[in-house]
Amino acid sequence: MNLRVEGEPSGSQSGQQIDWLPWGPAPFELARQRNQPVLLSIGAVWCYWCQVMEETTFQDPGVIEFISQNFVPVRVDNDHRPEINARYNVGGWPTTAFLTGHGGIVAGATYLPADQLLAMLMEVQRAYQEEKPQLYEQANNLFRQRQDEVAKISTGAELDAKQVQRIARRSAGIYDPANGGFGEEPKFPAVPVLRLLLHLFRTTGEEFYRVMLERSLDGMLGGELLDPVDGGFFRYCAQADWTEAQHEKLLEDNVGLARVYLEAWLLLDKDSYRRAAGGTVDYILNTLYDAEAAGFRGSQGAHSSYFALPEGARGGQTAPAVDPFCYANWSAQAVSLLLEASWILSRPELIPIARHVLNALVEWAQTGELSHAYSHAGRPQEPRQQLLADWASLLNALMDAHNWDPDRGDYLPTAEWVARQMVERFGDPSSGGFFDTEKDGEAVGYLKLREKPLPENVLAVQGLLKLHQATLNDEYRQLAQRALSAYVEANRNYGEFAAVYALAVDQYLNSPVEITVEGRPEDAAAQDLLRAATRVTSPHLVVKPLLSADYAGNAQAHVCLDTVCLPPVGNPDSLQATVEGGTAGQVSPFENILDRFPGL
């Protein structure tokens, strides 16, 4: 059953139905006219309990009748409208939230069976009629608290390496030494923490980081998180020992884990990591890639017993359906994955697919048609809200193509155009950082408050740092600094997502080391140089594989430190020493103005 209702009634066996309305000003105006609260249901096509609630609770005649008479029902898809989910989710999916006619939160819960939902509906309806002023005051207080939290995200604090160390200690504090991974049950992969561990182990060589990283990666492979038949990783496991997998598969998770295992293979040289990465890339291409739409489907649902079948019993069985929609941000991130995998796994056939998707996203952006959700049949019938996540992911994909696509193309000027658009649409010139949505004069409820989520801001910062490294335009670095500075204290509120903030801060604090490897793709010497390059301990490392079948001569690596390029290196064992020799005693290009004018 499709949870995506764009205003059409969804029928039940009794002939009754809930007339769900899409999010927008109209249902809230209707709620004010009727003096009724809004019932907001947030779900996702991959969410098992969303389907259960749809097929049971919302088909109950008593529930249908009470909602129809006393509420204005609004349905939102989490993946279509992540900005709404970010503001109104009350602890998971499905979210069942009750709002005032102005969009303030009155109450909320997650999954509810029919009897519990009906009891809650009755209590909210009673309170709305008898205690409306108090409910509005409560909702307004929550809104003001949210405003205050956003206002605290403001540039000004100094960035230093201690912040990286503090976040690393916080991450280590939730490590599970018995099973690997982070946190307690339910156990999620924690991709941001894994990425930070990869970075810290590469840059420090500390055994402590290697043990945490390896035990976590091995634990996921040895448990039930990875699908051994169709490939790809499930979303999470119910148990801390990586058993009882919950069977939905999300594109975002699989892209992140494929990149983690790719980079772990380069660092730790365990063939199981290479197989996991390659198998996950295959799953993404075989199951989620939509060539006609020029994108990647967002998920594969868990709404059948298919994944619970024994390994030899899946043949001939119908696999769970995939999301009919692609998403701009996740598709752009999949482009980056394919480009990276093309040279790490020596799979040049991945490059045309990455180009196909990237070119489509660029064309839509340039013609004003970039939509967060899209399919080969078009865009959903809802406002085409512009989201920071889409533009920041597109910027990173363009810079990764500039670094990793052998043809290079005109990716760099396009990336600069995307960066300008991102700054104009989402940048906060007064307080630094980036809002998650464009300014919208018709925004309702909490969408009136433009927020600055950390993960999306880190994406923007990473793209800007790549641009600065490629162009030496210091404006990009300054924008990155202002965004990072705004989260010196606020990063504490983001749990595992603070890990990618720490990684971005470490990159910002260190000058880039760029290593370009030239050679033929099939040349073992070129591959050895590439692997040696990815192990260089610089915190701000940029590896650019320039491999071509037409290349003549011996493979070699070119090391550039800021604007200084060193003589080419042909021996992989000498690459680290060459970088260390070039950076020894290196003067920072970022001058302290007080040193020049000591009297100030």
| Averaged pLDDT for residues 545-556 | 90
In tens, the pLDDT along 377-406 reads: 887 766 667 999 999 999 999 999 999 998
pLDDT at position 15 is 59
Pairing state of beta strands 17-18 and 245-246? unpaired
Q: Which amino acid is at 394?
A: L
Tell me the DSSP string of 566-589. PPPB--GGGHHHHHHHHHTTPPPS
Identify how many contiguous H helices and E strands the chain contains and give both numbers: 21, 19
Is residue 94 reached through a cis peptide bond, with omega within 30 degrees of 0 on the bond before it? yes
Is residue 186 reached through a cis peptide bond, with omega within 30 degrees of 0 on the bond before it? yes
Q: How far from 201 is each of 146, 168, 275, CA to CA, in Å? A: 37, 11, 21
Q: State pTM to two decimals.
A: 0.93
C-alpha–C-alpha distance, residues 519 and 507, integer Å = 28
User: Do residues 555 and 529 lie in contact, with contact meaning Cβ atoms separated by under 8 Å?
Assistant: yes
In tens, the pLDDT along 437-471 reads: 999 999 999 999 999 999 999 999 999 999 999 99
C-alpha–C-alpha distance, residues 536 and 203, integer Å = 7
User: Do residues 463 and 434 lie in contact, with contact meaning Cβ atoms separated by under 8 Å?
Assistant: no
Q: Which of 42, 48, 65 is nearest to 1 (CA)?
A: 48
- Going by pLDDT thresholds of 50, 70 and 90, the confidence category of residue 188 is very high
pLDDT at position 303 is 65
User: Do residues 53 and 94 lie in contact, with contact meaning Cβ atoms separated by under 8 Å?
Assistant: yes
> 204 Cβ partners below 8 Å, 6+ apart?
537
pLDDT at position 13 is 42
Q: Which amino acid is at 121?
A: L
pLDDT at position 214 is 98
Question: φ, ψ for residue 272 (rounded to 5)?
Answer: -65, -30
C-alpha–C-alpha distance, residues 112 and 54, integer Å = 10
| Averaged pLDDT for residues 114-118 | 98
User: Do residues 42 and 85 lie in contact, with contact meaning Cβ atoms separated by under 8 Å?
Assistant: yes
Contacts 24+ apart (CB under 8 A), 575-579: 575/515, 575/529, 575/532, 575/533, 575/536, 576/532, 576/535, 576/536, 576/537, 579/513, 579/515, 579/536, 579/537, 579/538
**What radius of gyration, in Å, describes the C-alpha atoms of the chain?**
25
In tens, the pLDDT along 229-250 reads: 999 999 999 999 999 999 999 9
